[in-house]
Amino acid sequence: MKWRTDRNDATDRGSVNFLVNIGGAGHGGGMVAKVYEITKPRRMWQVAYPDPFKRDGKGRARMVRRHFADEAAALKHQAEVNKRVTIEGTAGLAFDATVRADAIAARQVLEAAGHAKMTLRQLADAYVQRVPRSAAGSMLVGEALELFLKEKRLAEGRTPQTVMNLSIRVSRWIREAKITQVHEVTRESVEHLRTRAVSAQARRNDINAVSSFCTWLLEQRKIDHHPLMGLRRPHVEWKPPTVFTTAECGRLLRAAQAMEHDDALGPIVVLLYVGVRPSEVEGTRLFYGRSPMARIEGGKLRGRANRTVPLLPAAVAWLKAAGSPERVTPLNKHARGRLMAEAGLSWGVDTCRHTCISNLAELLNNDAKVARQAGTSEAMIARHYRRLRTPQEARAWAALRPGKG
């Protein structure tokens, strides 16, 4: 994307083309509304600007987006929005006719009573000091958490694992901060999340979970500001993914093969040789024949990484030893614990997937193809998985077969 300086200078990179330079007068040296040209699925123009009252899960302003079939109409709307910002500030963007009429009527009442210098904010502060807190503010935080989790589960369709993770992290924060009512959710109550005696990644995950809850409270108008807005997240040092050696892969596969009554071999092969995410195991279908392949759907990305990938000969051989199943069932925690104990290994959530991707990166020597099979980006492959294994190790991994050492 580039700023447009001339109407014929616009360049298309993908589906969105930046049209208008917004620099110049206005708040902060630049105006708020920007105009984009959308070329897919059809040509249109989009006017986008930040909503001053709504925040996303990271505490950033949500974007208001309006679409126009005509460029002139989009430019006109952009000019109107930026003019309002210059006159009223960004908060004026959220004023509809009802809010404006209410504000004007309030000013008239104050002036008629001789309080011309009192602002509406001062009036609101005086009101909340005198009038008991509303039902929303006095709501038990436990009840609010239940409603939040219910919306995540039913309205947003989050997986049970995601909902449970949110419940555990937010509930722990509520206990440690000694919060009983919603109005006690303040900046002070979330500060200790940054200093807990756990890893930086765990602190970051806790902050993200609590931030999601606070965003929901703000959207439901149960709190008047996001307590985590502007809070610096802990820095997490990058570490290379953990992978199994070829010998460890052999031990894991043979241990799974020995657990016949648990049907452990199928899901391990799918994880170790197809490279699916653990959440994608249940939605993976296996096809055999002249061109064996796997169709991977669903998972935590909810379909955004759906793909069809070829099965390696090693995968076909091990799946044949498992009875050539069309689908496999994810291992439960108990079966997984017994399997790893038998193999003498430690379980990592994505270690099998990391092992598969790092070996494919050396076998195929094509980041784009590996990214397509793994359901991720080419940049992710180049940045995280290159040279974790040697070509010799990758060939040994691909040569593992049932009955071989």
Query: CATH number for the domain including 354?
Result: 1.10.443
227 belongs to a structural domain: no
Per the structure, how many domains does the chain have?
A: 4
Residue 17: the pLDDT is 40
Q: Stretch 331-350: mean pLDDT, rounded? A: 93
240 belongs to a structural domain: no
Q: Which two tokens stand for residue 89?
A: 């500030």
239 belongs to a structural domain: no
Residue 301: the pLDDT is 83
Residue-range definition of the domain harbouring residue 316: 246-398
Identify whether the C-beta of residue 5 lies closer than 8 Å to the C-beta of residue 21: yes
Q: Is the pTM of this model over 0.75?
A: no
Among residues of the chain, what percentage have pLDDT more than 90?
A: 50
Question: How would you list the strands of the sheet with 44-55, edge to edge?
Answer: 16-18, 34-38, 44-55, 61-68
231 belongs to a structural domain: no
Residue 275: the pLDDT is 94
Residues 329 and 344 reside in one and the same domain? yes
Residues 32 and 89 reside in one and the same domain? yes
Is the predicted pLDDT of residue 35 greater than 70, yes or no?
yes
Residues 304 and 355 reside in one and the same domain? yes
306 pLDDT band, cuts 50/70/90, is very high
Q: What is the pLDDT of residues 186-227, one digit of tens each?
A: 888 888 888 888 889 999 999 999 999 999 998 888 888 888
Identify whether the C-beta of residue 385 lies closer than 8 Å to the C-beta of residue 377: no
Question: 79 versus 395: which is more confidently predicted?
Answer: 395
234 belongs to a structural domain: no
Distance CA 279, CA 195 (A): 31
Is the predicted pLDDT of residue 4 greater than 60, yes or no?
no
Residue 316: the pLDDT is 96
Residues listed for the chain: 405
Average pLDDT over the chain, rounded to whole?
84
Residues 116 and 169 reside in one and the same domain? no
235 belongs to a structural domain: no
Residues 116 and 43 reside in one and the same domain? no
Residue 388: the pLDDT is 92
Residues 204 and 86 reside in one and the same domain? no
Residue 132: the pLDDT is 53
- CA separation (Å) from 239 to 58, 198, 385? 23, 17, 11
- Pick from 42-46, 167-171, 252-256: least confident: 42-46
Distance CA 86, CA 25 (A): 8
1 belongs to a structural domain: no
Identify whether the C-beta of residue 307 lies closer than 8 Å to the C-beta of residue 372: yes
Q: Stretch 67-92: mean pLDDT, rounded? A: 80
Residues 182 and 151 reside in one and the same domain? yes
Residues 274 and 394 reside in one and the same domain? yes
Residues 319 and 336 reside in one and the same domain? yes
Q: What is the pLDDT of residues 224-240, one digit of tens each?
A: 888 888 788 888 888 89
